[in-house]
Every structure is written in C-alpha cells, then in structure tokens.
Amino acid sequence: MASPGDRFEFAIDRGGTFTDVFARCPGGKVRVLKLLSEDPANYRDAPTEGIRRVLEEECGQSMPRNQPLDTSLIGWIRMGTTVATNALLERKGEKMALLITRGFRDLLHIGNQARPRLFDLEIVTPEVLYEEVIEVEERVVLQRDGCQLPRREAFQTVTGSTGERLEVWTPPDLVRLEADLRRVLSQGIRSLAVVLMHSYTWSSHEVQVGALARRLGFQQVSLSCEVMPMVRIVPRGYTACADAYLTPKIREYLSGFRAGFCQGLQGVRVLFMQSDGGLTPMEKFNGSRAILSGPAGGVVGYAMTSYSQENRQPVIGFDMGGTSTDVSRYAGQYEHVFEATTAGITVQAPQLDINTVAAGGGSRLFFRSGMFVVGPESAGAHPGPACYRKGGPLTVTDANLALGRLLPSFFPRIFGTSEDQPLSSEDALREFRLLTATVNHFLSTQPGASHSEMSVEEVAMGFIRVANEAMCRPIRALTQAKGHDTSHHVLSCFGGAGGQHACAIARALGMRTVFIHKYAGILSAFGMALADVVQEVQEPCCLLYQESSFTELDRRVEELRGRCEEALHGQGFTSSEISTEVFLHLRYERTDCALMCSASGYPGNKESCSTGDFRAAFTDRYRKEFGFTIPERPIVVDDIRVRGTGRTSIDHQSRVEPRGTEPRVERVTQCYFDDGYLDTKVYLLEELSCDHSIPGPAIIIDKNSTILIEPDCHAEITQSGDVRIAVGTGKLRAVGTELDTIQLSIFSHRFMSIAEQMGRILQRTAISTNIKERLDFSCALFGPEGGLVSNAPHIPVHLGAMQQTVQYQIQELGTELQEGDVILSNHPCAGGSHLPDLTVITPVFHPGVPRPVFFVASRGHHADIGGITPGSMPPHSKSLQEEGAVFISFKLVKNGVFQEQALTDALMAPSKFPGSSGTRNLHDNLSDLRAQVAANQKGIQLVGELIDSYRLEVVQAYMGHIQSNAELAVRDMLKEFAHRRRQQTGSLEVESVDHMDDGTPIRLKVLINEEEGSAVFDFSGTGPEVFGNCNAPRAITLSALIYCLRCMVGQDIPLNQGCLTPIGVLIPEGSILQPSRNAAVVGGNVLTSQRVVDVIFKAFEVCAASQGCMNNVTFGNERVGYYETVAGGAGAGPGWHGRGGVHSHMTNTRITDPEILEKRYPVVLQRFSLRPASGGRGCFRGGDGVIRELLFREEVILSVLTERRATQPYGLKGGEPGSSGLNLLVCADGRTLNLGAKTSISVKPGDMFQLQTPGGGGYGSCEQLTPPGPLSKKKKKAESTFAERGSVFEYSRTQEAV
C-alpha cells in the first residue's frame, strides 16, 4: 500500500517528556524534529505542532497555530503515545465503576494477595481503578465429573465457547441491577467494567448486563469477555478495568488531535501503535492495547534496522532514557508476553516483552554504608540532575558530565530557573566534591580499605561502572532465562542516554558489536513508519491437542483467519498485502506453564492440524526454554490466536555517499577513562560518511544523542549512515584484595547475579508446579566457612536457614567432601526449615586448593515427600517422622554419579511408619532434585569465571567485604535506634512477649550496645517444645531475625552472614524455638515464624502486629489435592494504615485464581472479600482480614493449620488489636461448626468452609497522634510514577510471592 509520493508522511512518538517526529516529504526528503510534549504557552498539542512546523517550513507558507491544518498535503500519520501509560501511572483515567459477581466485590483489591515489596512494612499497592463496585446477583458454575451436589432441575445447562459445559445457578437480576446502575449514574460515573465469573467461555450474562448499561446511558462499557476472553478472572478483570479507565481518555485525546486538522482528518489514514508492535486504525485504538504504544515503536525500529536476515544474529534492544531503561530482544520474530503488569495493573493482552528497569540518565547516586548505589530513585525532569541548575541531586548524567563525556556546548540553552542557561559542569562537580569527601572520610575509618584518597573523577567513574552493572543484570536475565547466550547478541542502542554507556555494557556482557541507528534519538518514531498494520483475533479453547480435536481446531482457525482478513480488507489492503499467522496457546496437562506457539517452520502432516505441526513446535520450544519435555503428558490448547498483518511496503533504506576524505574533527576534548584523562576527538554524525572509520576514544555528536567510543573500540559508518562499533576486550583492570568501594558495589551485583542465574536454571529445568511455576525456591552462594554471601531471590523463611544447613555439612563431613559430591539435607537439626524444603549443596573446588573455596546451594519446596497426609504438611503431626522423608547429610551425587536408587529408597522410607506413606510423587522429586544439581553446577561455572577474571584471593576478599558491608548497615541501624531509645527512656534494653494460641509464650529481651552497634537477642523464658507441630527449628528464628533487621534498616543491603555478625542469639534448648531432634516442625515454619516476627517488632515498637498467620488450608481425596495459604490484615505503623487482604512478613504466596480453582478442584468459591472492621482501630487502622467461602462438590478431607484464633494481633501505642480469625464449617444439614485453629475433618458434598482471617493491629490512639497530611499522599504519588515491567520483572515478582 504505497502512499502517494507527493504528500507528506508523518511518524510521531508522543512521549512523556519529548515528542519525536519523523517526516518524509514529497520527493523523499526526510525531516526529524524533537519538541516538548507539554508546552501550553506555545501550543495545545505537540504532534499537531510538529506536523505544522514541517508543513510550514517545507511549503514556505504561514500556517497559524490557531487554525486547523490543511490535510490535503498529508498522506498518512502514524503515532505512538504514552497517554494511556501516563494516565495509568498517575491514576488520571476516567471515573469508572466495576460490576462483578456477588461475593467478589474486593477481588481486584486482593488480587493475588502478594505484597509488591517484600521488606516494606508500609505495604503500598497501587490503588484500584474503580470508584464504585456493584455486585451482580448472578452465577454460573462449570459442570464437573464426579460432582456429588444434589442436582437441581431448575438449573439451566449451557455450552461455553470453549466446549465446556456450565450450569446457570443464578441468572442476572436485571431489575435490581438497573437500580444500582442508576445510582452510579447519578454520581457522574459514565464508564463501566463488567467482570463475571467464567465469562471467558459463557458470555451471555455479561452481554445482558452490558446491553442494560448502554441503554441507561453509560458511554463506555468494557465487557471482560470482549476485551480479552481468557481464563482467570483476576487479570481479565484488571484488563477490563484498564480498558474502561483508559479508553475514554484516549478518545478524548484523539478528539482533541482531530480538532487540529480540517474536517477532523477525514480522508487521512491515521494509525496508532499498539502494545504488540502493530498499527491499528485510530477509531479502533483502545486502552488495554495502548499501554506500551510508545516503547513498541522503538522495538519495531531496531528490529527492522539492526537485525540481519543473512547472519540472523539476535539483537538486544537497549533504550536508555531519563528515568529508566527499556531492554528487549529480537531474533527474527517479535517476543510477546500475554500478561504483564504496569503500575500494579495486570493486563491480559499481547504486548512486546519490553523490560523496564529503574536505571536512566536521571537515576540518583548514593553512598550508603560504604557502597555506591545507583537508583532506583530518579531526579525526574524537575528539578532534574544537579547540572540542570535547579538544585537537583547527583545523577548518572552528572557523572558523565563530570568525566567529560557530555559536552555542554552541544546542548541547547534551556536550563536553570529562567530556562536559558547551558548545562552546568560547575554544579555537578561541586556536588561530586562533597560526595567524594564523604567517601574518603568513610575509607579513612575502614581498616581493610585502600589508604589512598579517591578523586572526584574516580568517584564519578565508579558510579558509571555500578550503573552499567545494574543495567547488565536484566539483559543477562532476559537472554539466559530462555536458554540464549548473551554474548552472541548485537547491542542495538537508542534513546537519549544510551550512547554514553553502550560500549561498556557490551564489553561487560561479552558482546562484540554495538549498532546505533542514525535516527537512534527518535527511533520509536521511526519505528512507527516501518511498522505493519495488525489485526488480532483470539478465542479461548479447552481441547486436547490430539487427532480427535484436529478437525475442530482447523475449523476454528479458519473462522478466525477469515475474520482477520475481512477486517484488513476493510482497511483497504489487498489479498497480496495480507498475511496471517496462527498461534495456539499450549501447555502440558496439570501444569500452568503455557507457551504461545506458532507453527511457522513446522508444516502440517498426517499427525497434526492442517495449519501446522504445533506439537513439534511446542515440544521444541519447551525443550529450548526448559531443557526437557514430558512426552507422556497430554497437551492442552488454552487459546487460539490469529495475527493478521497488512504490509505497508515502506522503504527505509537510504544510502550515504563516500566522501573520500578523512573525517573532520570538530574539536579535541579531555575524557576520563580507567587510565585517566585521554585526548578524545569529537565528530559530528551529520558530517560522517560510509568510508569513515573512527578509533576510540572518540565522541560522535548527533542532534539528539551523544555516542562515546571507548578506548579499544572502533566505529564505522555504514552505507546507510548508521554507526556500527566493534567492541574490544579492553584492558583488564587490576583489582587488589583491599576494600575498593566501587568494586564492592560491582561485586555485590556479580555475587547476586550468580544466585539469580542459578535460579533461572532451576526454574527452567524443574518439572513440578511448585518450583517451575510458583517459583518456591531459593539459590545462594556461600563462603568457604559456610557464611552466606548472596541469596536471591528473597524468600523470607529461607534467608538465614540455608547458611545453617551449609555450615552443618562442613562441620559434619569435613574432609569427606570431595569434588564430584553433592549433599542433600532437610532435617531441622541440620538447618532445615520443614521437611518439604529440600536443600542441595555442592562444594566449589579450585585447582591447587584442597578444601572447597565456596559452596553453592539451592532449596526447593517439594509438593510431597511422604508422611501421614498428602502434601507433607499434616495439621496434627506429633513427630518428625510423620511429616515425610528425612535427610541429614545424604550424598545425592557421589564421585559425579547421581544416586537414584538410594534416593528412591530414602524417599519411600516413611511408609515403614504406621499410617504414613512414602512420597506420592517420586517422578517429580527425582526430576526437581536433578534440576537443583544442575542449578548448582551453573553456580560453580559462574564462580569459576569470576575467579578467572579476578583471582581467587580477590573474590574471597570481596566476599568478606560484602559481608562487612551488610554488618555495617545493621550496626548503623542499631546505633541510631539505641541513641533514640536512650534519649527517650534512658534504657538500652527492650523486651516483649506474645503467645501462641495454646498459651505458649515467646519471650524476647534485647540488650543493645550503642557504642558497638551490636545487640543480644535473648529468648529465655520462651515456652517449652509443644506436643504438636508448631515447634520452630533454630534456623527459622534466624530467618525471622534477618527479615526483621532488613525491614528496620529500611534500604537495600546485601542479605548475607554479615547481617547477623553484630547479633548474639540466645535460645533455650528444649523450647518451642529450639526443639528436640525429632520434634514435629511443619507448623513452626508457617506459623511460629510469624509470631517470632511479631515479638521482635513489638520489642522495637516498629509497627502493630500483622495477622500473624499464614492460614494454611488443604483439602483432597484419592483423586485430587490442593493447598493454599490465605491473606489477612497487615499491621499499621507510625504514619500508615495497614493494608487489608495481603500476605505479610514471612510469607508472600500468591493465591489460585477463582476460575482456575473451580476448573481444577471440586469446589465452588462462593465468596472472597475483605472482612469489614476486622482491622484494629487507631489513629492508623490495621488492615482488614478476608472472608473466603469454599463449597465442596465432593467428599474430601479438609485440613486447616492456623493461628491467631484464640489471641488477637496486638495494637501499638494505644491502637486496638485486630480481630482474631475464625474457621467455620457450615454443614449441608444446616449446622455451623467452629473447627478451631488446627483440625483435619471429612467434609461432605454441600458443606461450606468459611475462613475468616485475622485483621492487623492499629497504631496510636486518635487523641495522641495526628493523621498523615498531604505530604504523605504526595510521597506515595511520586513513588508510583515509575513502574518496572516485562518478563524479567514478572519473574522477580513471582519469585518474591511464594
């Protein structure tokens, strides 16, 4: 669809700060323009102003701003915009209401019940988008084989779009609903999201509700069944809310945009970029598909310009802006995700996998407890970096300026309060001198530090290196998570700030090529010009991928393909310009790990659909990403998707002519590198041609970016005028064993990266749902004495326990540990938490050193290891043997040989005890333990590479320095607390006591040494070991203690052995916190750990008690088993209300989506909502608990393991306690039974279990304290304006939610 050559064509990216314009004029001339997105004093709309300027200048005639533009000169306009993203981040969308099935009014408030930041006591979650909730009296339920509920003839049976059969238990009460809708209309709300249970397959009820709402006058009605018909009501509900919240704002913007043109742009083809990288007509652009509209253009831009079809070398896109950096990958196909979270709202829609991390030119620089820290806080546009002359803080931009890598004379004079000054090197250097003095003062007090003072340049260079390492981590994660080698990629750099860092980042990642397009400064806009029009159709499915389903799958594919082609024909595309690609969303049965698979390259055959061999495509990709397949397991089709593309046939190639002369040097400046100041030639990109080659060090200046060519790098100009940089290995920088604060920060990242990459291998190669999908595991690196060096990601109950396990093995086995050995352990006496957590430990040997130089370990939660109940978490266990298989120092691998038979025997050993069984899932146990061994092997490889780069003594020295850094942070916190405490009370001793439901006290006395910053935590007086399973091994108490210390420090610190160095811990033997060797402990891990946290925070008066329980619920029979933990109320604190419906402290598990729960298990979820007024009253209220009602459809054994049923979560400083919990069974015969805190009971079909979880305690009496004022609200808003996103972020978020 070539556009007429005599008209102007515009591609525009309207960003948050700047609007970029790419214009192709008649005759082929290209104009590039950048202007402020908001400049109300001069123009109303930036894209319109950009078009006006180009037309006026190129046509040579005046076009006043206050008059509509003549559209006869315009061929097409393509745009990406952050209007939707900004409205979501800033919560400035349309006022809206949510309509949801009765019983679920708070479902989207609770979400998946996990808190977003593990160590923040003030749990700040993004606010919900709706202002009102209407519960719709309606209910449909999936039919289920084996359902034993009495059959009601009145129930209508229907067939959903997936082929699933459903029963209509309650049709919508439209009369009652109309009254509710009129009430909402009267409040000025005109936008609705409608989200009903199982509407992904049976949409009739939503359609009826939507028709009524439109008839009553609602202007925007977003039905979840239309916005994205995918199973799982929570993300589908968020998506419908986002659509209702954002689409009116987009329409409002589009209406204003049209007003700037004659006849409202009639006759002009206007297309908008969607989150999936495809264009769509302006009238079809909607909120849920618009969130990544701007960044998607950048991905299309680098994919179309950097990727070579000839060598097929994959490309990493690196877009570094002011506040954040976007990282993505392209290897011939766009990489999409189908569920992603932005600003706390999970959206189900195809989106490019763009990973945003908090590191940009405006990221702030800190020196904390001896460590260089970059971000995540940003200076923003106002006041901006220090060099902006507005009193802003030091940032990465200031560091580049201080090193001579940015040249103020090439920047516009738009800085200072009058906005007419140049960038200020003086302001940046002044702030760096102050910071350098702080760094040198710290170094002078450290015995192991280098004695030479650091210069301003060394400090600035240190921050650049730390920032680079921070940006390398997500790139490693993005590639290695899917089995790719990072070093085999090209780094395609764009955005305003990336050119200064590209060479260093590529070198650190082992990449050899950096590509910077000539339009890198506006690549998102250029990408709009190169993109195709996309039409997508998707439907849910519930078929097995097998021969009997192929005919139906082919029929549905052809139907969707026809809809796509019809829509594209309607937009003017011919058949030759249209192509379609078919995707099936596939997963193995009984797993949640679904992959959206195309059959491209897998032609159909007799054993596949006619569309293609999706089985081969799925298994090949599964093996690539996860390292194995499950050939005996059926494959389920969850969704059918067709992506239709209308090719736009725009030629983006342009050639620059060789000049035959040496490139002109604009000037020579001094830039600081590792070797000090070097003469650095400066060139203008517009003056360079394809026969020019530029060795580093050099700077190439473009209109919108600065490109730094580092020493040992070489830049060439391509025939298209782009910059290709060959990256050399660089000179290795000698690092000694003495403390270097810059290297400290870099080693902190490297050590953490080792643990993270181990976790990626474990997740890829494991087979069980617990490890592969719930990510219930931790991986860690330990020193030669077993001291924790780095632990990632952070699962609170694993924090200190793994160190105890490794140290036990060193003491127990000593010289018996040989290269090729791997140890398995889970016993509480050996640092275990509870038996299902199996820890695999591998020693790391180094040539010439007889003993291990490091240890690596991985701990994973196995779904079953035997015992008296399925799931190995019995509520009434009295001894350890009843809880499953026990390992103390079991050699899992001996001399390099996996001991499968001995392991099998040990896993089946519990069956020797009366009433107990061996493991019920041997296959998964064996597979997951092999995966843990593989993860450890990856850790050994990475430790070896680190030693090869720096030498063994250096790596071990920095292990000690990192531990000392954590120690220093804890000592600083204790000194500050002691000083404050002494001034207030004159005492350096604090104490507290709290009780378990059986009356067992947990007593704590803490004596603090203010001078040393140390403390002794003395649990003397704690009650004895209990005849039950609430006994907590010592390792659990240490984990709870590390968690509390990290929360009280209040900033990111390395979580390692150093945290406990200033701490003495006294626990009486034989107590509930240090029980005998064979005591039952499963409840100690999930319940007593919470009470230990409550006691510590009570002693330090940090905050009121949270719910103090994990609310463990298990049910099952011979065919099915299910386990969940349930949220409650969080405690309030000084300045904040407690969050309701959230997990707190030592757990952060996600909860199964209601639709998945009903689809897979014999229950109906009747209610899941907040428990009103259960939070403690006070000046700051405790968070509410939840009410959860499960109606059983079959006979099952129900087990509950809970606490805080007899005691209440305490309030603090006059605040009232939260309500205690309650476990009720409402029997089918009408009786209501109180089940108590811990029980196991057989329930009948029709019985309903009602769980009421505890609320959090309140803080302060209203008479004593003043509620927080506008300042706190402003702070929360500022914190919410940046949101990480992408598959790497989703992985980390899931890992922290187990």
Q: Kindly report, residue by residue over 856-893, the tens digit of the pLDDT.
A: 999 988 988 999 888 788 888 999 999 999 999 999 99
Segment 1243-1249 shows an average pLDDT of 96
Which helix (DSSP H) or strand (DSSP E) does residue 527 occupy?
helix 523-530
Using DSSP, state whether 1145 is helix, strand or coil.
Answer: coil
- The band of 904, judged by pLDDT with boundaries at 50, 70 and 90, is very high
Say which residues have a Cβ less than 8 Å from residue 1244's Cβ, sequence separation at least 6.
1192, 1195, 1227, 1228
- Is the confidence at residue 1278, as pLDDT, over 70? no
- The band of 1287, judged by pLDDT with boundaries at 50, 70 and 90, is low
Which helix (DSSP H) or strand (DSSP E) does residue 493 occupy?
strand 490-494
The pTM for the full model equals: 0.85
Of 778 and 1194, the structure prediction assigns the larger pLDDT to 1194
- Is the confidence at residue 480, as pLDDT, over 80? no
pLDDT at position 211: 97
pLDDT at position 730: 65
CA 1054 to each of CA 117, 745, 1050: distance values in angstroms, whole numbers, following the listed order: 16, 10, 12
Instruction: Indicate the angle between helix axes 741-765 and 952-985, nearest 10 degrees.
Output: 100
- Is the confidence at residue 675, as pLDDT, over 70? yes
- Is the confidence at residue 412, as pLDDT, over 70? yes
Token readout for 942 is 């990475």
Measured from the Cβ of residue 90, the count of other Cβ atoms closer than 10 Å reads 12
- Is the confidence at residue 452, as pLDDT, over 80? no
Give CB contacts under 8 A, 24+ apart, made by 814-820.
815/851, 817/843, 817/852, 818/895, 819/843, 819/845, 820/893, 820/894, 820/895, 820/896
- The band of 131, judged by pLDDT with boundaries at 50, 70 and 90, is very high
Contact 609, 554 (CB under 8 A): yes
Say which residues have a Cβ less than 8 Å from residue 1183's Cβ, sequence separation at least 6.
123, 1106, 1128, 1129, 1130, 1131, 1132, 1137, 1138, 1139, 1140, 1141, 1142, 1175, 1218, 1255, 1256
For every residue of 609-625, DSSP letters joined together read: BTTB-HHHHHHHHHHHH
- Is the confidence at residue 379, as pLDDT, over 90? no
Average pLDDT over all residues of the chain: 88
Could you tell me which residues are beta bridge partners of residue 248? none
- Is the confidence at residue 1297, as pLDDT, over 50? no
DSSP state of 1142: B
Which helix (DSSP H) or strand (DSSP E) does residue 580 occupy?
strand 578-588
Q: How far apart are CA 491 and CA 707, in angstroms?
A: 14
- The band of 476, judged by pLDDT with boundaries at 50, 70 and 90, is confident
- Is the confidence at residue 1277, as pLDDT, over 70? no
- Residue 273's Cβ-count burial label (10 Å; 0-12, 13-18, 19+) is buried
Q: Kindly report, residue by residue over 139-153, the tens digit of the pLDDT.
A: 999 998 888 888 776
Which helix (DSSP H) or strand (DSSP E) does residue 192 occupy?
strand 191-195
Nearest to 1203 by CA among 1092, 1296, 1104: 1092
The phi and psi torsions of 688 (rounded to 5 degrees) equal: -95, 150
pLDDT at position 362: 84
pLDDT at position 651: 66
pLDDT at position 1212: 96
Of 766 and 1206, the structure prediction assigns the larger pLDDT to 1206
The phi and psi torsions of 719 (rounded to 5 degrees) equal: -65, -20
pLDDT at position 668: 95
Q: How far apart are CA 475 and CA 484, in angstroms?
A: 11
Q: How far apart are CA 612 and CA 602, in angstroms?
A: 6
pLDDT at position 508: 86
Q: Kindly report, residue by residue over 607-654, the tens digit of the pLDDT.
A: 888 989 999 999 988 887 776 788 888 999 999 999 999 887 666 667
Contact 241, 129 (CB under 8 A): yes
Measured from the Cβ of residue 1240, the count of other Cβ atoms closer than 10 Å reads 17
Percent of the chain scored above 90 by pLDDT?
53
Q: How far apart are CA 600 and CA 23, in angstroms?
A: 35
Q: How far apart are CA 774 and CA 1295, in angstroms?
A: 7
Q: Kindly report, residue by residue over 2-52, the tens digit of the pLDDT.
A: 344 588 999 999 887 778 899 999 988 889 888 878 788 888 889 999 999
Q: How far apart are CA 989 and CA 992, in angstroms?
A: 11
Could you tell me which residues are beta bridge partners of residue 586? 595, 637
Q: Kindly report, residue by residue over 1082-1103, the tens digit of the pLDDT.
A: 999 899 999 999 999 999 999 9
Segment 411-433 shows an average pLDDT of 86
- Is the confidence at residue 701, as pLDDT, over 70? yes
Could you tell me which residues are beta bridge partners of residue 1252? 1187, 1222
Percent of the chain scored above 70 by pLDDT?
94
